[in-house]
Amino acid sequence: MKLIKRSDDWGFPTLWEDLFNNDLVNFPSFVARGTTVPAVNISETEGNYTVEMAAPGMKKSDFNINLDHNVLTISSEQEENKEEKDKNFTKKEFSYQSFERSFSLPETVDQEKISAKYTEGVLKVVLPKKEEAKTPSSKVIKIS
């Protein structure tokens, strides 16, 4: 949000400023208003990483989870069409929603054991660590 607005010599905002410096045309804020991207929590324990995505109202079949070259991508596309017919009118409503979130995984993730579960509006993806990454090996170094 701007606190100070420039004006031309007569005290009126210029057309250029209204079109290109207005907060409504600001690309990042415009995108944030027009789309919904689920919130994500990422946590780490000794044995795994966990990605939790808040996505209420969805079904587990709405999600696509892909792993390609250490990049985990969670996406969804939903299209809804409703049509109501009566003798004097036709009403048709439709909507389309989609999102995609990608995460670069560390080399320590055991990609063969990744699992996902959707419960009560939260998608939980568990990324187990490889055995060698779970506990740092300690050793005694002898001084020669």
Query: What's the rounded mean pLDDT across residues 108-129?
Result: 95
Q: pTM of the prediction?
A: 0.63
Q: What is the pLDDT of residue 25?
A: 42
Query: What's the rounded mean pLDDT across residues 109-116?
Result: 95
- With CA atoms as reference, report the closest residue to 118 among 71, 66, 53: 53
CB 99 within 8 A of CB 78: no
User: 38-81, pLDDT tens digit by residue?
Assistant: 999 999 998 999 999 999 888 989 999 999 999 999 999 888 77
CA dihedral 50, 108, 128, 110 (to 10 degrees): 130
Chain-centre distance for alpha carbon 112: 23
- Give residue 122's identity as a one-letter amino acid code: V
Q: What is the pLDDT of residue 18?
A: 46
Q: What does the DSSP 8-state code read for residue 103?
A: E
Instruction: Tell whether the model's pLDDT for residue 15 goes beyond 80.
Output: no
Q: What is the pLDDT of residue 113?
A: 95
Give me the CATH topology for the region 36-130: Immunoglobulin-like (2.60.40)
Instruction: Tell whether the model's pLDDT for residue 137 goes beyond 50.
Output: yes
Q: What is the pLDDT of residue 138?
A: 73
Domain residue extents for the chain: 1-34, 36-130
If you average pLDDT over every residue of the chain, what do you get?
77
Chain-centre distance for alpha carbon 92: 30
Residues 1-21 as b or e (16 or more Cβ within 10 Å = b): eeeeeeeeeeeeeeeeeeeee
